[in-house]
Amino acid sequence: MFQHQSNRRKFLQTSTSGALAIGVGATMPACLLDAAESADSAGDRILVVVQLTGGNDGLNTVIPYADEAYRAARPKLAIPKPNVLTVDQNHGLHPSLRGMMDLLGDGQLAVVHGVGYDNPNRSHFESMDIWHTCVRKDEPRTNGWLGRALEQFPRANGGDVPALHLGDQQQPFALASESVRVPTIKELKEFQLRGSNPEELRELLSVLPTQQDSNHGDDLLDFLRSSTKSAISASTRVTEAAEGYQTDVVYPQSGLAEKLRVVAQLIDAGMKTRIYYLELDGFDTHAQQADTHSILLREWSDAVSAFVKDMQAHDHDGRVCVMTFSEFGRRVSENASEGTDHGAAGPMFLCGGGLNAGLIGDAPGLTDLEQGDLKYKIDFRSVYASVLKDWLGTDPDPILGGSYAPQPVFT
């Protein structure tokens, strides 16, 4: 008994003095402690979100190469027909998207035409908030659509965070939740256990009485014990993922590819995290767009295709879907600076197993425009509804704030 009491006092001192540190900034321990009771084990499928920040030019991504109106509107920026990666007799992909073409050939790419929303907003911040929350600015915004989804997932034992944001940007509003904490990390080592003597802490926890054996009624101690054990368990698996992960897939040398490789490591390590969120910035191409856009599309395409191939090599492709979106497309006509200005509708992309591969929906017309912009054909919330219902297995209506017919994205 004396040994247990001594260990209890030492444990509390150790926990409050910072001997245990999980390196995701000062708030990471709290994130893991909260997540210990919030992680989901009922579902096996994983969603990886890649946000193309700045407004990706959808017309030069999924190219209506057979439409003369496209070339008339873009005398300098139009991609020459011989360079287009042909998908069908009307549309093709930008020549930088060879990785995406490989996925399409393998039945692992679905492209949804003309995604947007009614009365589009052309502000980066406001439009992104609409995509993140599914709420217009005249209504209260307290959480994001993925944050609400996390609240719907069944609770599970264990210390795996239910969602994770990788990057050095501000955490996306889409992940905001009233009850689920989501950590942000820059790199894998920040998610690992650190401290003056981690092994001593593990040994200490192993001799603590279980909650069933404890009759002291110490709720704080019980919480610290169970939550810290969960945090250590999660950190241990992350460490093992870093040390033991092997792959024959060669990832390109880019920031996005490195983050996706981290996601692959965590998935293969058996982490129960269901949502991963990443960003690729730089798509606000008002001037001299051609080279910048080509480089960005190649980074995205090569990184995502490597990740999907890696998941396939490790037999995870049937449970991992990568969804890519941008806050809006660009104007149909190029501007005087050989760039494009803020527009409206654009394509969304889903990669992985279980997809109805190919082009989905009708492409917006290039002559029937709204203030120089493409008219959207599919509400983005309908794509979200597909992801929520058909992939993540949860009811989309309370999350999206209404009923939206899912698109035929998944088989």
- What pLDDT tens digit does each residue of the chain (411 aa) get? 434 444 444 433 443 333 333 333 333 344 443 333 333 333 689 999 999 999 999 999 999 999 999 999 999 999 999 999 999 999 999 999 999 999 999 999 999 999 999 999 999 999 999 999 999 988 888 999 999 999 998 765 556 789 999 998 899 999 999 999 888 888 777 665 555 555 655 555 555 554 444 445 555 555 445 555 555 666 666 666 666 788 999 999 999 999 999 999 999 988 889 999 999 999 999 999 999 999 999 999 999 999 999 999 999 989 999 999 999 999 999 999 999 999 999 999 999 989 999 999 999 999 999 999 999 999 999 999 999 999 999 999 999 999 999 999 999
Give the whole-angstrom CA distance, residue 39 versus residue 154.
Answer: 8
Amino acid at 62: V
Q: Phi, psi at residue 41, to the nearest 5°?
A: -115, -10
57, two tokens:
């030019």
Q: Which residues of 359-383 are buried (b: 16+ CB within 10 A; e: fewer)?
A: bbbebbebeebeeebbebbbbbbbb
Task: Specify whether the CB–CB gap between 281 and 167 falls below 8 A.
Answer: no
Measure the CA dihedral 186/190/191/195, to 10°: -170
Q: Which CATH architecture fits 2-400?
A: 3-Layer(aba) Sandwich (3.40)
Quick check: helix, strand or coil at residue 118?
A: coil
Sketch the domain layout of the chain as residue ranges.
2-400
